[in-house]
Structure 1
Amino acid sequence: MLERITKETFDDIYPIFEEAFPVEELREKERQKSLLDKTQYRLYGIKNESEYGVLQGAVAMWDFNDFIYIEHFAIKPIHRNGGFGGKKLKEMIAWVGRPVVLEVEVPTDEMTKRRVGFYERHGFFFNDYPYLQPPMRVGQKMLPLRLMTIPEKISKEVYERYKRTIHKIVYNFEEE
């Protein structure tokens, strides 16, 4: 079950992201919270119907006309490795009914390879086009990542369009 998060319930979600993401992949708390004012930004708490009221994860996404960009998807560690996250991801993909795009770290070590493998097992395709995530915080550098997409791998042209949209709207970053 997805529950829409508001400014009043935001403080329940942010610690889940802090635990799941490195600092360079997460905005400061107040900047993240301010995104709730943007019409295309959606933040949801993830709950399991059998444990009503227990927050087990969170997802932050951006709703664009022809695709959804998942900025953050995190399950609390206690609920990982039992299929819960994969089940919720599949439900979410079916619910949005459009292509889905997300960023992943370049798979270079065991953890980053496991993350890419998780998304691949759930139907995502790894796109090897070099991708740089604009800084999430002041003073940071561009972060080398890759885009993963569902329902298929994307062409270079579609990749460029997705990248431009994400950079401009999500990161307020204009290509030179």
Structure 2
Amino acid sequence: MFERVLTKDDFEKVYPILAQSFPETEVRAKEDQLALIENECYHLYAIKDEEEKTGGVIAAWELSDDFLYIEHFATLPEKRNHGFGGKMLDLFVEWNGKNVVLEVELPEDALTRRRIGFYERHGFVWNDYPYMQPPMRKGQEPLPLRLMTKPTALDVETYERYRSAIHQNVYRYTKEDLGRVNK
């Protein structure tokens, strides 16, 4: 069901799913995303359907012994609203066995509320701590988001530890940069 993307050819099959599923502010430039497959903490997976065709993608970071950060999760448009994505998300979380953290947009319209509802139906919990996603590309501004976690909500100490690990490893910012982003 999950096939790790390890080569440029594999990457070329899954990157279009990321590019069409996320706004430019939430995905790296193609060459920057490709460079990540060399990082030992980053794991990019093609999600295969029952016919062994790529139907989606999960990009995740193993940042500590106790949690996994899902940076991107997307399915092809024709796979949406049929249970494929939810089933794959549940299998992935179970397969990994760690606490899971992901970022979501603020619930400002019907689409963002629907996305949050999807994650809630799959056991994720909204954490109401202010969170700023550092820019994914040079020249962009930080993006106000929230963290959702599974299986439980985070206390403030754990939230700060997870947020710091995500920012320092995923976004590769210095502590000085982090101070500016989180204000």
TM-score range, shorter chain: over 0.9
Q: How many residues align?
A: 174
Q: TM-score, normalised by structure 1?
A: 0.97
Moved more, 145-154 or 2-11: 2-11
Partner of 1:91: 91
**Equivalent runs, 1:26-105 vs 2, <5 Å:** 26-48=27-49, 50-52=50-52, 54-64=53-63, 65-105=65-105
Deviations 1:82-138 (A, max 9, x none): 111000000001001010000000011000000000000000000010000000001
Partner of 1:24: 25
CA shift for structure 1 position 66:
1.4
- Partner amino acid for 2:136? M
After TM superposition, the runs of 4+ consecutive aligned structure 1 residues lying more than 3 A away are none
- Partner amino acid for 1:143? L
Q: Does 1:140 align with 2:118?
A: no
Give unpaired runs (5+ residues) of structure 1.
none
Partners in 2 of 1:159 and 1:84 — Cα distance?
30
Q: TM-score, normalised by structure 2?
A: 0.93
Partners in 1 of 2:148 and 2:133 — Cα distance?
13
Partners in 1 of 2:164 and 2:42 — Cα distance?
17
Partners in 1 of 2:165 and 2:117 — Cα distance?
26
Partners in 2 of 1:8 and 1:162 — Cα distance?
32
Partners in 1 of 2:101 and 2:118 — Cα distance?
15
Give unpaired runs (5+ residues) of structure 2.
none
Partners in 2 of 1:40 and 1:2 — Cα distance?
17
CA shift for structure 1 position 170:
0.3
SS at structure 2 position matched to 1:111: helix
Root mean square deviation of aligned Cα: 0.7
CA shift for structure 1 position 160:
0.4
Q: What's the % identity of the aligned pairs?
A: 53
SS at structure 2 position matched to 1:138: coil
